[in-house]
Amino acid sequence: MHKSTINLPLLTVLIFISIYIVPLGLRDLWSPDEIRYAEIAREMLSSGDWTVPTFNGLRYFEKPIMGHWMNAIAQLLFGENNFSARAASAFSTAGSAGCLLLLVTHFINRQTAWISAAIFISLFMVAGVGSYNVLDSLFSLCLTAAFSAFFFAVSANNSSTRCRDYGLAGLFCGLAFLTKGFLALLLPVIVVLPYLLWHKQFLPILRWGWWVVTVALLICLPWALAIHAAEPDYWHYFFWVEHIQRFAAKDAQHSAPFWYYFAYLPLALLPWTFLAPTAIRHLRDHLRLPFIRYLLLWAMLPILFFSIAQGKIVTYILPSMAPIAILLAVGLITAYKKRAKGLKWGSVVNLIITAVAAGGFLVFYYAGYLPLESHEYYRPWLAFTALSCWVLCAILAIRASTFEAKISAYAMMPTALFLLFWAMIPNLSIDSKMPAGFIEELKPLVSEQTILLADHPATMSALNWYLKRNDVYLLDGKGEVKYGLSYPDAADRYIERQNLAQFIKNKQQQTDILILLRNLQLPASELPTITRTFKQGRFRALYFKKRVLED
């Protein structure tokens, strides 16, 4: 290869800052996921209870505790804001990239390690999830660290090193379990066990398996016992409902066909999708290497496992992105050394498709096909600008004289898109998924005594987070708080629709009442006189002023 003048490590850090740090606090939180997880952490800090997660003051047993701890720590460090809500996801992505650097530097070389890290942080799926407040980035970090430790362990040449590395694998499996549950124990088994059997290493399974499990148990046991002591029903609900039913039930949430994840992969791997065929083709030269075989199992077996499950969510395959990034790096380096034409033609296709998409935004806008209001005229131009930067990077990739220059151009492609995304979100989405502005309009009407109601946990969480309240009444859809509402001490927090009018009349004698709605239609004829009505997109609010009834 030609000697590169590009400092890829520095560029990778700058790309990370541009995608994951700078825009982190610029857009409002998305409902329901981001607001829900921010609120659970806020309630943890407010109550001082770091054992039992609650949502709107109700028991919330859908996930273990680790992700809530990380979100709470972020709020302690940065305050209760958009940045802190997403900080754990962003820094977890940095941690995963750090694992790749350690792993690939040790088993290949430093150049391939930084190329792998640059590919990883610029993958569409990784960047999208890593700048969004869900638990998947933290879970992926724990698994990436565990899988890395496993390979260090199986490759170690002495017992003390092997003991240390298997112990680290157990540690990270335990942390992964505390983040998302039993999948943390299953996924390493379905990858590491086939690898050991493939290489006829039967003894390590018997010799070290107990050690990994013991360390994982020691990590999990303190909180597992604490939550059992505080809430004895936790493990029954978490195991049977959240794991067994979600995996196997025919009516599982987010049901999708077997091929769902394979259809999504081309989008998840952008912008590297255009070079992936060439990279995969040139991996054949490396299939004899144990490290490459391990990466293939790590990449594909979790995707196959989740493809079998009835319920499917795209973020489930996030742990496969780390090995895919390494495999792409290895394949692309080999392709470049062999002067593969696919590198150039893939970039040409990339340029053409992105240029058409950039122009398409403007054509569709001026033809009246985009769902934008007149004052949103700048949004298509921002999209055009971001995609034009992508096109410019594609041109640089085609003309690059060194391999690292080509890699750098690709890694920079999505940067402008993620930097400007917050300003490109149309009002149609803001008015249905981002209630911060609407709640701000309602704030002057709300005091600590105001009775709050919501028609769904998604609208409930908006009142929780933005008004700092955990006593919102729910009507209509119970959603993910159905289990929490089933406890006797929470039964009065759900109002049946046929009882709503009487509830308002009774409470109206004591204080004001505010109802936030997104889906439920409440005809005025079914309710007492409404003092004021507010509307923003799909969000509506009904305000009932305190009224003292005469004897």
Tokens of 277: 């065929």
Provide the 10 A C-beta neighbour count for residue 142.
26
Distance between CA atoms of residues 475 and 469, nearest Å: 17
**Per residue in 181-192, pLDDT tens?**
988 889 999 999
**Per residue in 357-401, pLDDT tens?**
999 999 999 999 999 999 999 999 999 999 999 999 999 999 998
Answer whether residue 411 shows pLDDT above 80.
Answer: yes
Share of the chain above pLDDT 70, in %: 96
Using alpha carbons, select from 190, 147, 184 the residue that is nearest to residue 308: 190
Within 309-449, where are the H helices?
321-337, 342-366, 378-399, 403-412, 415-424, 427-433, 436-442
Q: What's the rounded mean pLDDT across residues 109-122?
A: 97
Q: What's the rounded mean pLDDT across residues 517-546?
A: 93
Is the backbone peptide bond immediately before 271 cis, with ω within 30 degrees of 0?
yes
Share of the chain above pLDDT 90, in %: 86
Q: What's the rounded mean pLDDT across residues 515-544?
A: 93
Query: Which amino acid belongs to residue 300?
Result: M
Distance between CA atoms of residues 377 and 62, nearest Å: 42
Distance between CA atoms of residues 87 and 90, nearest Å: 5
Q: How far is CA 493 from the centre of its chain?
A: 30
Pairing of strands 473-475, 494-495: parallel
Name the strand (E) or helix (H) holding 44. helix 33-47
Within 400-510, where are the H helices?
403-412, 415-424, 427-433, 436-442, 457-467, 482-485, 500-508
Query: Which amino acid belongs to residue 420?
Result: L
Q: What's the rounded mean pLDDT across residues 3-11?
A: 84
Answer whether residue 255 shows pLDDT above 90.
Answer: no
Cβ within 8 Å of residue 158, ≥6 positions away: none
Q: How high is the pLDDT of residue 551?
A: 42
Name the strand (E) or helix (H) holding 451. strand 451-454
Phi/psi at 341 (5° precision): -70, -20
Return the minimum-mean-pLDDT range out of 1-5, 22-26, 176-180, 476-480. Answer: 1-5
Answer whether residue 1 shows pLDDT above 50.
Answer: no
Answer whether residue 353 shows pLDDT above 50.
Answer: yes
Residues 138, 36 contacting (CB under 8 angstroms): no
Distance between CA atoms of residues 31 and 28, nearest Å: 9
Residues 270, 516 contacting (CB under 8 angstroms): no
Distance between CA atoms of residues 87 and 518, nearest Å: 28
DSSP structure string for 110-174: HHHHHHHHHHHHHSHHHHHHHTS-SSHHHHHHHHHHHHHHHHHHHH-SSHHHHHHHHHHHHHHHH
Q: What's the rounded mean pLDDT across residues 189-199?
A: 91
**Per residue in 46-77, pLDDT tens?**
999 999 999 999 999 999 999 999 999 999 99
Answer whether residue 168 shows pLDDT above 90.
Answer: yes
181: left (phi over 0), alpha (psi -120 to 50) or beta: left
Residues 487, 61 contacting (CB under 8 angstroms): no
Using alpha carbons, select from 410, 296, 424 the residue that is nearest to residue 343: 410
Q: What's the rounded mean pLDDT across residues 464-476?
A: 95
Q: What's the rounded mean pLDDT across residues 266-290?
A: 95
215: left (phi over 0), alpha (psi -120 to 50) or beta: alpha
Q: What's the rounded mean pLDDT across residues 1-27?
A: 89
Q: Using DSSP, state whether 473 is helix, strand or coil.
A: strand
Q: What's the rounded mean pLDDT across residues 324-346?
A: 96
CA distances from 427 to 374, 422, 431 (A): 11, 11, 6
Contacts 24+ apart (CB under 8 A), 221-228: 223/51, 223/64, 223/65, 223/178, 226/51, 227/51, 227/52, 227/65
Using alpha carbons, select from 466, 184, 187, 408 the residue that is nearest to residue 300: 187
Answer whether residue 204 shows pLDDT above 80.
Answer: no
**Per residue in 304-321, pLDDT tens?**
999 988 778 899 999 999
CA distances from 35 to 32, 72, 84, 205 (A): 6, 13, 12, 43
Q: How confident is the model at residue 2 (pLDDT cuts 50, 70, 90)?
A: low
Distance between CA atoms of residues 475 and 496, nearest Å: 6
- The larger pLDDT score, comparing residue 240 to residue 87, is at 87
Q: How high is the pLDDT of residue 4?
A: 59
Answer whether residue 476 shows pLDDT above 90.
Answer: no
Q: How high is the pLDDT of residue 199?
A: 81
Q: What's the rounded mean pLDDT across residues 219-247?
A: 87
Q: How high is the pLDDT of residue 247?
A: 58
Phi/psi at 243 (5° precision): -115, -60
Answer whether residue 37 shows pLDDT above 70.
Answer: yes
- The larger pLDDT score, comparing residue 546 to residue 243, is at 546
Q: How high is the pLDDT of residue 3?
A: 56
Q: How high is the pLDDT of residue 81?
A: 97
Answer whether residue 113 shows pLDDT above 50.
Answer: yes
Q: How far is CA 293 from the centre of its chain?
A: 28
Name the strand (E) or helix (H) holding 532. strand 532-536
Q: How confident is the model at residue 245 (pLDDT cuts 50, 70, 90)?
A: low
Answer whether residue 180 shows pLDDT above 60.
Answer: yes
